[in-house]
Amino acid sequence: MSARAISREPAAAERLLPRRRGDSGTLRAMLEKDLRSGRWQEGERLPTERELCVQYRVARNTVRRALEALEQGKLITRHVGRGTFKSSNSPSAPTDPFHIDSIEAFSPADVIECRLFFEPGLVPLVVVRATKADLDRMSECLKQAEASGSLQEFERWDAALHDAIAVATHNHAAISMSRSLARVRQQAQWGMLKARSMTPERKAKLQAEHRGIVAAFRNRDQGAAHRLLRDHLVHVRTYMFGESSPGLQSLI
Ligand SMILES: [Zn+2]
């Protein structure tokens, strides 16, 4: 066992893991990130299973399953009696197109950027397919957000409104994708970013934007709904993360 490998701290993993103990998918995502970020050199031996259990605070089985997945992805090689090594060909190995990172691996900035492209894309379906019940659900979310007494409650109804918009597409793949993205809202980091940037004026502005979006859907006005939803997400992104990153402005 290389003393060098043991002595290194498990970077971001330590901070994130207590929330999802025992989840081999989460551990796999963390180890994959560490492998790709160069925490270990090609051909270098990784800590033993037992050491990984201690470092990442997970059960032996969890470590074993995560290592199996990484081996299948050709990121590591394992030799009985010798240990686990970072593959020397790992950068060129094809990634598994069916692998989905767990939510801990998504950054709020990535998620909001993705929503910026994804949610306005749902508008044409919503305009055509939204039923009266869908539109009433959106209005109910607006009303509840308006009446919310805390930031947490507002955030919950804000999320519910965006979910109601996805539901109104009546496309189950779109609804599922929207919900995967929405899960980032459960992260502590998202809550902190929202809380840090939220003022009563901002909350009022967000509500006004929400009202405009729902009104455009009620009017079946595709152009207005698309523009208002996109502007709303740009606004959320800007106040959470500052000005747009290079390249984004030209795309939206
Ligand atoms: Zn919103």
Q: What is the pLDDT of residues 113-172, one digit of tens each?
A: 899 999 999 999 999 999 999 999 999 999 999 999 888 899 899 999 999 999 999 999
Question: Are both 71 and 133 inside the same structural domain?
Answer: no
* Regions of the chain with pLDDT less than 50: 1-21, 251-252
16 CA → ligand 1 middle, Å: 26
Question: Are both 130 and 221 inside the same structural domain?
Answer: yes
155 CA → ligand 1 middle, Å: 8
Res 14: pLDDT? 43
Question: Are both 115 and 87 inside the same structural domain?
Answer: no
Residue 98 lies in a domain: no
Q: What angle do CA 195, 227, 141 make, to 5 degrees?
A: 50
Indicate the Cα dihedral angle 116, 179, 16, 31, nearest 10°: -80
184 CA → ligand 1 middle, Å: 14
| Domains: count for the chain | 2
Res 22: pLDDT? 61
Res 101: pLDDT? 67
Residue 247 lies in a domain: yes
Res 220: pLDDT? 98
Res 208: pLDDT? 97
Cα 36 off chain centre by: 19
173 CA → ligand 1 middle, Å: 21
Residue 62 lies in domain: 3-92
Res 127: pLDDT? 98
Residue 120 lies in a domain: yes
162 CA → ligand 1 middle, Å: 6
The pTM score is 0.62
CA-CA distance, 85 to 236, in Å (whole number)? 43
Res 6: pLDDT? 43
CB 167 within 8 A of CB 138: no
